[in-house]
Every structure is written in structure tokens, then in C-alpha cells.
């Protein structure tokens, strides 16, 4: 498996339907563009009036590999053709405690690639309804993805239907069409009759010559981030001296996967 991370900068996605009109986009207003400190953007989704779910790597500078000041990140709910349903800055942000942004791509990095953002003010617009989250889907379950990217930064696009190929150690492997720029985009299941978020886009990969996407499983990781916010964590601090974490479990692990840098 050759793996590359989806970053905020580029995209050439396929099989996507652009949600230009209010009728088409109405059900997806809680998906928004995250403008990242003037350097690029990701996709995020509202899961509570004040909480946005996205990928952890969206909060890191690709050059310095340090956390960016999330106070410079803005969530544009339902952004479409120059206008958003709501504009909010980020007040606090927490990433999975085991996530390490070191420029190397691995299954561990994808597994922990989750962030939760607290907005400076709740979004209480009646046309913007936060999404519920759902249990981890099974192999073969049908999914959908709503995302922004470089070549479609002014309106979201919907892919429905893709499916689950596999679940491996907390990583969801899907046929969903994603590429650079789709980072943090919500992956939905429609099993209940309404869209519910089961993962967020972390990376793209190639398996047996076919493009796939990788997502972070929710459940316990999301609960961990919610608890961190309740505990008062998520206040931005200037980065200290660079350090490198080594996971002893990875030292001798051979997964048979070929990982490449983004």
C-alpha cells in the first residue's frame, strides 16, 4: 500500500457533484470550509452548535511541523460562492494525544488524525443543523463524503455512494474519492435514513493499483477529545524546542506497507 496524506493545498477529485444551489446544499450546511491562518484550508463539520470535527494534521504547519495558532482558523459554515451561513473563529482546539505530526506517514498517524475545535460562539442558525455521529461502519456499508478542495474551494461537493473496503486497527479504508484538500472532510453513513458522521478524511492511498481513502475511526477517540475540552484543555501555546517521539511498538513492526511522504 502506498500512502499519501491529503493536505489543505491541492485537489483533483473525481465523481463528485458540486452543491451549487441552495436546494442541493440545504442538507449539508453544517459542513464548512476551515480557512487555516491564511495558508490553505481544510473541511470541517459541525457536530454540536459550538464543536467542529476535522483532521488533526490541518492544525500543523507542513514546513515547521509545529502546531499553528488555531485562533487564526475560521470556520465558514455552508460556504458557497462567496457566502457562508455562519462565520466563526476557533476558540480552543484539541488533537488526539497520540497524534504526532513529524512528516512521516504511517498507520499510527492516520489512526490518531482527529481534532475537535471549539468555536468562539455557538452556531444557532435554524438552517444549520449539527450532524450526529454513528458507530463504526462495517465492510461493504455505503458511505458519502462532502468536501472542499483547491479546484472547488468555493462550493462543497458530494460523493454518494462509496463504500467501506476494510477496517484495520482503527483505520477505515474506503472507496471514497478524495485527494489533496479534502482533509478533515466528514465521511457519512446513511443507514439511519439521515447522514451521520462515522469518520473524517485523513489520507489517500493506493491499494493494488486502485485509489482509496483512509479515515480515522470515531468512538473512543472522539470521546477522548470531548473530555479534553470539558477539562479545559485546548488553549494554544507557543511551541517549544522541537522533539521527536519514538513509539517502541513501531520499532520492530513490519506491516508490509510502503509509506511515502506527502
Q: Confirm whether 248 is domain-assigned.
A: no
Q: Confirm whether 155 is domain-assigned.
A: yes
The DSSP code for 154 is T
Asked whether residue 186 carries a pLDDT value surpassing 90, the answer given is yes
Asked whether residue 74 carries a pLDDT value surpassing 90, the answer given is yes
Q: Confirm whether 230 is domain-assigned.
A: yes
Q: Which residues contact 166 (CB under 8 A, 6 or more apart)?
A: 139, 173
Q: Residue 83 belongs to a domain with what CATH number? A: 2.40.10.120
Calpha distance 163→199 (Å, rounded): 12
Tens digits of per-residue pLDDT, 110-123? 889 999 999 999 99
- Domain extent, residue 128, equals 2-234
Q: Confirm whether 217 is domain-assigned.
A: yes
Q: Confirm whether 111 is domain-assigned.
A: yes
What is residue 239's predicted lDDT score, i.e. its pLDDT?
63
Q: Confirm whether 259 is domain-assigned.
A: no
Query: Partners of 75 in the beta sheet?
Result: 34, 88
In this structure, the number of other CB atoms found within 10 A of the CB of residue 69 comes to: 14
Q: Confirm whether 47 is domain-assigned.
A: yes
Q: How many domains does the chain have?
A: 1
What is residue 21's predicted lDDT score, i.e. its pLDDT?
63
In the chain, count H helices and then E strands: 4, 15
Q: Confirm whether 257 is domain-assigned.
A: no
Question: Has this prediction a pTM greater than 0.85?
Answer: no
Amino acid at each position: 500500500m502506498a500512502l499519501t496524506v491529503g493536505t489543505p493545498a491541492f485537489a483533483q477529485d473525481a465523481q463528485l457533484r458540486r452543491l451549487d444551489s441552495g436546494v442541493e446544499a440545504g442538507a449539508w450546511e453544517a459542513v464548512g470550509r476551515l480557512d487555516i491562518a491564511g495558508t490553505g484550508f481544510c473541511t470541517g463539520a459541525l457536530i454540536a452548535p459550538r464543536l467542529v470535527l476535522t483532521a488533526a494534521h490541518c492544525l500543523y504547519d507542513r514546513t515547521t511541523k509545529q502546531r499553528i495558532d488555531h485562533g487564526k482558523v475560521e470556520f465558514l459554515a455552508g460556504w458557497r460562492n462567496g457566502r457562508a451561513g455562519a462565520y466563526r473563529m476557533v476558540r480552543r482546539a484539541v488533537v488526539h494525544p497520540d497524534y504526532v505530526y513529524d512528516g512521516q506517514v504511517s498507520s499510527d498517524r492516520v489512526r490518531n488524525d482527529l481534532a475537535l475545535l471549539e468555536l468562539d460562539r455557538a452556531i444557532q442558525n435554524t438552517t444549520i443543523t449539527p450532524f450526529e455521529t454513528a458507530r463504526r461502519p462495517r465492510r461493504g456499508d455505503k458511505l458519502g463524503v462532502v468536501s472542499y478542495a483547491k479546484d472547488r474551494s468555493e462550493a462543497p461537493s458530494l460523493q454518494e455512494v462509496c463504500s467501506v473496503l476494510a477496517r484495520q486497527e482503527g483505520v477505515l479504508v474506503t472507496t471514497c474519492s478524495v485527494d489533496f484538500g479534502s482533509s478533515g472532510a466528514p465521511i457519512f453513513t446513511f443507514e439511519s435514513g439521515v447522514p451521520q458522521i462515522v469518520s473524517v478524511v485523513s489520507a489517500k492511498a493506493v491499494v493494488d493499483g486502485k485509489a482509496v481513502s483512509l479515515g480515522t475511526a470515531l468512538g473512543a477517540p472522539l470521546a477522548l477529545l470531548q473530555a479534553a475540552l470539558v477539562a479545559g484543555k485546548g488553549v494554544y501555546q507557543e511551541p517549544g524546542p522541537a522533539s521527536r517521539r519514538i513509539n517502541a511498538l513501531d520499532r520492530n513492526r513490519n506491516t508490509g506497507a510502503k509509506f511515502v511522504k506527502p
